[in-house]
Amino acid sequence: MRRFKTTVVGAGNVGSTLAQRLVEKQLTDVVLIDRVTDRGEGKTLDLLQSAPILGFDTKIIGADDYGPTEGSDIVVITAGFPRKPGMSRDDLLKTNMEVVQEVTENIVRHSPEAIIIVVTNPLDAMCHVVKKVSGFPKNRVFGMAGILDTARFRTFIAMELNVSVDNIHAFVLGGHGDTMVPVPRYSTVAGIPIPELLSQDRIDALVERTRNGGAEIVALLKTGSAYYAPSAATVEMIEAIMVDKKKILPCSALCEGEYSIDGVFVGVPCKLGKDGIEEIVDVRLANPELAALHRSAELVREQIVTVDRFMAEAAAAKAPKKKEPSPAKG
């Protein structure tokens, strides 16, 4: 029986922790690739040497080129740069667009049937880049964000009520950023909607903390950003695809009319199975909730317009210049 194969592009904290979780769970063979020479190989060798202790036999390969990724079933893109002091959002968009564009071109060349999961930020805009460059159908290009945002909301609800996280289901929509849309009405504790258990002031505080969940961690770490929860969220997506779970999870998906949104990647509930996104679940939202989701989608659309401009400028710069005709003699 052929082993399932996953490529993780980027051996930073998110990518290497994701590779660790996958091999320790023995879910899939893994290729960990990084443009920094030997970093992928070094981290995979370290992981391999933990196998006799933890008892896993999963195959893992480190590389700095795409040859070993050939024929991957899933490719996860974590490669990119964090936003640094003094860097504008447009600077980050352009820098990571260039990284993701190059990665996607290599994925298409070596794994044309792969499902691509995007983790690089700004996530929703990077999903657009991957879709545009790859030409893959929309069920095979989507982003990890909603599971992470939902996990943060669930964590804060559990802390507030002093109950198990297993009791909590939450619902977070929208772009991955300040405009995400937690929906308390659909968030429950053992089936009980949280508005029945918490005051509106406390709910508002939990919603705000969820929206700032990534920034809170960055501020505490001083250097670097979250990677334990993002890697765990990506594992949940990969497992749903591998075993054809038909699990409904919030993903950044290309909406084409769902929620009255068209042509934008945004966080919505999706059914994940062996073919990737098998269905976008179009849930009925109240007017304020839908309006908040539309505002979030419009901000993503603005990023997409900027990305498309950068991509057009880059393509024009690479295009061969026409030779000016020689002046006539005589």
DSSP code of 121?
S
DSSP code of 178?
T
pLDDT in tens, 182-220: 999 999 999 999 999 999 999 999 999 999 998 899 889
Summarize the confidence of residues 170-174 as an average pLDDT: 92
Output the pLDDT for position 12.
94
Q: Which of 257, 26, 260, 270 is nearest to 147 (CA)?
A: 270
Summarize the confidence of residues 290-319 as an average pLDDT: 93
Pairing of strands 188-189, 181-182: unpaired
Domains of the chain: 5-143 (3.40.50.720), 146-307 (3.90.110.10)
Selected residue with higher pLDDT from 118 and 84: 118
Q: Binning pLDDT at 50, 70 and 90, where does residue 42 land?
A: very high
Helix axes 123-134, 89-110, angle to 10 degrees: 40
Output the pLDDT for position 186.
93
Among 128, 169, 176, 294, which one carries the catalytic annotation? Answer: 176
Residue pair 250/142 in contact (Cβ under 8 Å)? The answer is: no
pLDDT in tens, 236-289: 999 999 999 999 999 999 999 999 999 999 999 999 999 999 999 999 999 999
Burial (Cβ within 10 Å: 0-12, 13-18, ≥19) of residue 225: middle
Q: Binning pLDDT at 50, 70 and 90, where does residue 152 land?
A: very high
pLDDT in tens, 65-113: 999 999 999 999 999 987 766 666 778 899 999 999 999 999 999 999 9
Output the pLDDT for position 85.
62
Output the pLDDT for position 37.
82
Confirm whether 128 is a catalytic residue.
no
Output the pLDDT for position 3.
82
d(CA 289, CA 64): 45
Output the average pLDDT for the chain: 93
Output the pLDDT for position 325.
64
Output the pLDDT for position 314.
87
Output the pLDDT for position 2.
63
In the chain, % of residues over pLDDT 90: 84
Burial (Cβ within 10 Å: 0-12, 13-18, ≥19) of residue 13: middle
d(CA 279, CA 265): 14
CA neighbours closer than 13 Å in the CB half-sphere of residue 300: 33
Question: Is the peptide bond preceding residue 122 cis, with omega within 30 degrees of 0?
Answer: yes
Residue pair 297/177 in contact (Cβ under 8 Å)? The answer is: no
Output the pLDDT for position 327.
63
